[in-house]
Amino acid sequence: MPSVLTQTKENFESGRRSPVREERLEALTQRIGRALFRRLRSTAPSFWRLEKVEDSFMKLMMRDEDLRFRMLQFVDVFPALGGTRSVSRHLEEYLSSEEMGSGAGHGPLGRIARHFGRDLPGVRNITAATAQLAITRMGNHFIAGHTPEEVAVRIRSMEARGFHFTLDLLGEFVASEAQADEFARRYREMIEKFEDLLGPLPDALADQPHLQAPPRVNLSIKLSSLTSKFDPMDPEGTSAAVRERLRPLVRAAREHGAFINVDMEKYEFRETTLRIMLDLLDEEEFRGFPHFGTVAQAYLWDAEESLRWLLGELAARKQPMTIRLVKGAYWDSEQIWARQKDWPVPVITDKRLTDAMFERCTRILMEAAPLVRTAIASHNVRSVARALALRKMLSHPPEAFEVQMLYGMAGPIKDAVLRSGVPVRIYTPCGELLPGMSYLVRRILENTSNESFLRQRFSEGAAEEKLLASPHEPGPEDFEI
Amino acid sequence: MSIAAPVHTEKVPPFRNEPFADFSRREEREAFKRALADIHARFPIEAPLLIGGKRVETAEKIDSVSPSDTSLLCGRSASAGEAETDKAVAAARRAFDDWSHTPAEERAGLLLRAAALMRKRSHLFAALEVYEAAKPWREADADVAEAIDFLEFYAREALRLSGRKRLQPYILGEHNDLSYHPLGVAAVIGPWNFPLAIPVGMSSAALVTGNTVILKPAEQTPLVTWLYARILEEAGVPAGVFNFLPGRGEVCGARLVRHPDVQAIVFTGSKEVGLLIQREALAAQQDGLPFVKKVVTEMGGKNALIVDSSADIDAAVPDAIYSAYGFAGQKCSALSRLILLDDIYDVCLKRFQEAAESLRIGPAEDPGTQLPPVIDDEAAAKVNKYIGLGRESARTIYVGDVGSLAEKGHFVPPAIFEVDSSKHRLAQEEIFGPVVAVLRARDFDDALRIANSTPYALTGGVHSRTVSHLERARLDFQCGNLYLNRTITGAIVARQPFGGYRLSGIGAKAGGPDYLKQFMVARAVSENRMRHGSAPLEEHATETWEEF
């Protein structure tokens, strides 16, 4: 745990004590949760209707760990392959390696054949074309478009239904200054021109008076895309290099009325990322800039400590900020990295404890209003219901709250939350499939994971009571809430 | 002679690699900065000779300056002449009898204590490497971790190989066993590029198997290696068992190689010196020596990374950059040839070039430095000579600019040249600097042909997500360490036993299961236990032979 957190913890002004009683909060959470479930009972999100061929592939991957691994590896290489022949050859290799030992028909291809009710030669012929189609469609499902123009079309229709957006530009890993320049250029172009592409604000949004304050164009950026020298070993140098490219973006955002959210990446980068942001806000020119946001990742063991530290830093500066609370997107990678290095695993590996941490952080965030705007980013009805319950009981200022969800996921939940009168912002990725592949693989990992709320709800039909259960059950390994 | 604390074999926990420092943690960074200040405050460090347990000064000294700032004198070492060299060999020879009869448990105990002491001071050791060898923080930290790994690993290996192993099949009335015994006096000649890990690995392997050792550190980095000698002293190495002998290669190194009482020569360094040692060792043979000198040499490489069109360029480019420029190309495992398949050539080369252009050149102590200076004047001159050759005879893709840094230290620019033949000198000769030759391959077979076209076979790599290409590489890529879809440097003890063949060296892999056997001879004993028809009925031995 970075000592920076403990050292500055005393800065945190935690004077306010909440009057909310736990039992009432839990009862209200359950009530709101059941209401949300009633709203979404009728429809499953398109992704989980399991009709299309890609959905069928997903279903197979959930049943078969070995196949899931092989298919994810194949999905990973897919956009680099040119032409059907190459796709076909690679798929064959990915699915047939080590098949000899397992006996004809029992290898991965055999299992696919059985799943689709075909014989082995038959499945060989159809698999490449099917996989190609499935992956392209999955890409289109999770990535809103290749170009800003394409994405603008999708966003216009989202806005017409009452949703807000934040744009995420997919791109190459930044290994050079030229690539960092290119990212900065694309970010800047979005800040300056994207509103023109969108046209006038639709009525559905104009009707939400409390959301007129934050800008319409909302950009989520990764600081590691702004320098080839992002190295947590050298936070000073990294901060200087990143701010060099960040300053013009924030100036443009100020001028054009856009919002900039600094996304979180891997754990190793967190402290440096927060530091860069605060360094920038300490510069005279940017002091108090209101349209700035960042992310707290609840799946980290030190999530609460880090969040309290950040809130303390913001309070000391009277710096307003929107904080998006997520569980975190690098759960699998963080565990592998840590184990390879024999470092402590920074992420909570118990799903229930992660959910509990999310709810603790929700409350800490919401108690920091109005200086801090809270964005609850989760597809988990229980997590969202808890935040909505707190919002009511804390008399939380409505303009300081929103829910965020990912493009292409949890459609009915988005609708249900929106219809309950809460603003919903959709995290919308834009870019080509090749650089977007790591994003796509993370989404597939998430959707097919045993722990996925969406999988449990829409694919496995888990009971509402189970899905709404409080994660704060006392248990031997539990922590106090 | 005996050391106080032998280890109990059953109490030694399984081997585990020493974790690297996590410099994303503030307290780790601050601890390291304190270590840098601490070691800096101790400059100049004086490193004497250590002969027969006594520190010995010499009139001649060898200055050790920082490659990042040649005005910074890190310290001075003594410089052994022929007389001191002979004394060291004599001391080692005197100590051999007792040491070779010391139980393996005690010898292993010495290594484990040394590992614990080194772990306690790992930042201080690494900090000295930052100044003396111009190793960037992570590289220096990794070198110390590897040194600790060698001590821990070889201690366990020595225990595994110790004792008499009953041989199968068991025959009534006949007892057959095999055991390993040390060679004698071992001369260990270390390199400057891993100034701790490699001397520690080579010498601890010799020590733990019962040999006595004379360790000659590289002239450029005697101080780091001296810290290791200090650790061994503290851990209780008996007088004469370990002797530390800094000096000029052509004086004390040459004398050690030819000395009639030196039975094993263990060397890591350049191909030229390695081959010279082979010849000299053989020449010494003519003087009626009662044994054949055992020579173990780890030499250079001309290591290639192949990238095909199924590769993840986002991973391949940073991996190639780090492998080529990580320690200014001064690892024997460093990438010096980048082989790109035709259909990805332009895209990949452009990304690689832009990434190289973005490297931050600077002193090793600056945590933002990505490309540190090379070790000395001679190394810088060699690199610049090859850059000149590249400009004349190859297509220059990129040659960086070190600006005014050149006046401060041994800074050289990163360089990339495109060559059209695998025969080109830039694609054949080891430069040991930040210079990469890029070659175009028609297809994967062609790429392998190019990769295998040098006399070296040390490391190699493939970035590909085509299963059949990876399989081909496993079969046909001629190199001691093949890395698939990762960097081609940074071997970890036990996980990636390290070493090459062809002109990259002769000997078993360091940090692997065969390494210690090089320092020993095996003896088989067969005893007839039958006396006029009576034989013991204990013919099911409890101990079986664990063979790798």
Residue A454 domain flag: yes
| pLDDT digits 0-9 by tens, A210-227 | 555 679 999 999 999 999
Residues in chain B within 8 Å Cβ distance of A73? 465
Nearest by CB to residue B25, choosing from A2, A93, A172, is A2
Helix (H, G, I), strand (E, B) or coil at B327: coil
How far is C-alpha A462 from the geometric centre of its chain's CA atoms? 23
Residue A179 touches chain B, beta carbons under 8 Å: yes
How high is the pLDDT of residue A446? 81
Nearest by CB to residue B310, choosing from A80, A228, A438, is A80
Mean per-residue pLDDT, B529-546: 66
Residue A231 domain flag: yes
Last residue of a domain, one of A98, A121, A141: A141
A136 and A273 assigned to the same domain: no
Best residue in B15, B18, B22, B130 to probe A by mutation, most A CBs within 10 Å?
B22
**Cα B532 to Cα A386, A392, B528, B536, distances in angstroms:** 90, 100, 11, 12
| pLDDT digits 0-9 by tens, B137-158 | 999 999 999 999 999 999 999 9
| pLDDT digits 0-9 by tens, B256-308 | 999 999 999 999 999 999 999 999 999 998 778 899 999 999 999 999 999 99
CB contact under 8 A, A80 and B309: yes
Q: How far is B128 from chain A (nearest CA, A)?
A: 18
How high is the pLDDT of residue A208? 65
Task: Check if the beta carbon of residue A98 is closer than 8 Å to that of residue A140.
Answer: no
How high is the pLDDT of residue A52? 59
- pLDDT greater than 90 at residue A257: yes
More confident residue, A457 or B29: B29
- CATH code of the domain covering residue A195: 3.20.20.220
Residues in chain B within 8 Å Cβ distance of A269? 24
Which DSSP letter does residue B426 get?
G
How high is the pLDDT of residue A409? 87
| The two three-digit tokens of residue A112, written as one number | 């696919």
**Cα A370 to Cα A278, A319, A336, distances in angstroms:** 19, 11, 39
Cβ neighbourhood burial of B522 (10 Å; 0-12, 13-18, 19+): exposed
A29 and A100 assigned to the same domain: no
A168 and A60 assigned to the same domain: no
Handedness of CA B231, B237, B238, B242 (dihedral sign): negative
Range of the domain at A257: 20-41+145-468
Residue A45 preceded by cis peptide, ω within 30: no
Mean residue pLDDT of chain B comes to: 95
Mean per-residue pLDDT, B117-141: 98
CB contact under 8 A, A271 and B24: yes
Nearest by CB to residue A93, choosing from B313, B358, B467, is B467
Residue A152 domain flag: yes
How high is the pLDDT of residue A481? 45
Mean per-residue pLDDT, A392-408: 92
How high is the pLDDT of residue A13? 35
A82 and A159 assigned to the same domain: no
Nearest by CB to residue B467, choosing from A97, A228, A271, is A97
A273 and A419 assigned to the same domain: yes
Longest Cα–Cα distance of chain A, Å, equals: 70
How high is the pLDDT of residue A20? 57
Distance, CA of B164 to CA of B177 (rounded, Å): 6
How far is C-alpha B114 from the geometric centre of its chain's CA atoms? 18
Residues in chain A within 8 Å Cβ distance of B25? 2-3
A258 and A124 assigned to the same domain: no
Q: How many domains would you assign to chain A?
A: 2
Task: Indicate the residue type of B215.
Answer: L
| pLDDT digits 0-9 by tens, B166-203 | 998 888 889 999 999 999 999 999 999 999 999 999 99
Mean residue pLDDT of chain A comes to: 85
pLDDT band at A2 (very low <50, low <70, confident <90, very high): very low
Mean per-residue pLDDT, A293-303: 97
Last residue of a domain, one of A141, A175, A208: A141
Residue B44 preceded by cis peptide, ω within 30: yes
How high is the pLDDT of residue B4? 54
A277 and A218 assigned to the same domain: yes
Q: Which range has the worst mean pLDDT, A145-154, A443-452, A467-476?
A: A467-476
Nearest 5 degrees, angle CA B113-CA B119-CA B124?
Answer: 125
Mean per-residue pLDDT, A276-291: 97
Nearest by CB to residue B20, choosing from A76, A97, A341, is A341
Helix (H, G, I), strand (E, B) or coil at A129: helix
| The two three-digit tokens of residue B93, written as one number | 């020879």
CB pairs under 8 A between A and B: 103
A122 and A180 assigned to the same domain: no
Q: Which 315-344 residues of chain A touch chain B by CB within 8 A? A: 341-343
A336 and A349 assigned to the same domain: yes
| The two three-digit tokens of residue B489, written as one number | 């440097």
CB contact under 8 A, A176 and B360: no
Residues in chain A within 8 Å Cβ distance of B357? 176-178
CB contact under 8 A, B358 and A178: yes
Residues in chain B within 8 Å Cβ distance of A272? 24
A103 and A59 assigned to the same domain: yes
Residue A30 domain flag: yes
Nearest 5 degrees, angle CA B530-CA B535-CA B537?
Answer: 150
- pLDDT greater than 80 at residue B547: no
- pLDDT greater than 70 at residue A369: yes
In angstroms and rounded to an integer, the radius of gyration of the C-alpha atoms of chain A is 23
Q: Which range has the worst mean pLDDT, A125-139, A295-309, B333-347?
A: A125-139
Residue A14 domain flag: no
Quick one: closest CA in A to B463, which residue?
A: A77
How high is the pLDDT of residue A9? 33
Last residue of a domain, one of A116, A141, A166: A141
Domains and CATH numbers, chain B: 27-299+504-522 (3.40.605.10), 303-484 (3.40.309.10)
Task: Check if the beta carbon of residue B361 is closer than 8 Å to that of residue B371.
Answer: yes
Residues in chain A within 8 Å Cβ distance of B17? 342
Quick one: closest CA in A to B466, which residue?
A: A90
- pLDDT greater than 50 at residue A50: no
What would the DSSP string read from start to end of B213-239? Answer: EEEE--TT-HHHHHHHHHHHHHHTPPT
| pLDDT digits 0-9 by tens, B486-496 | 999 999 999 99
| pLDDT digits 0-9 by tens, B409-447 | 999 999 999 999 999 999 999 999 999 999 999 999 999
Residues in chain B within 8 Å Cβ distance of A94? 467
Residue A2 domain flag: no
Residue A100 touches chain B, beta carbons under 8 Å: no
Q: How far is A161 from chain B (nearest CA, A)?
A: 37
Q: How many CB atoms lie within 10 A of CB A42?
A: 7
Residue A474 domain flag: no
Task: Check if the beta carbon of residue B149 is closer than 8 Å to that of residue B493.
Answer: yes
| pLDDT digits 0-9 by tens, A155-202 | 999 999 999 999 999 988 999 999 999 999 999 999 999 999 999 988
- pLDDT greater than 70 at residue A364: yes
Q: How far is A243 from chain B (nearest CA, A)?
A: 16
| The two three-digit tokens of residue A415, written as one number | 């609708």
Mean per-residue pLDDT, B24-47: 98
How high is the pLDDT of residue B520? 98
A153 and A295 assigned to the same domain: yes
Q: Which residues contact A75 (CB under 8 A, 6 or more apart)?
A: A135, A138, A437, A440, A441, A444
Best residue in A3, A7, A86, A173 to probe B by mutation, most B CBs within 10 Å?
A173
A90 and A224 assigned to the same domain: no
- pLDDT greater than 70 at residue A106: no
Q: Which range has the worst mean pLDDT, A148-152, A417-421, B237-241?
A: A417-421
Residue A475 domain flag: no
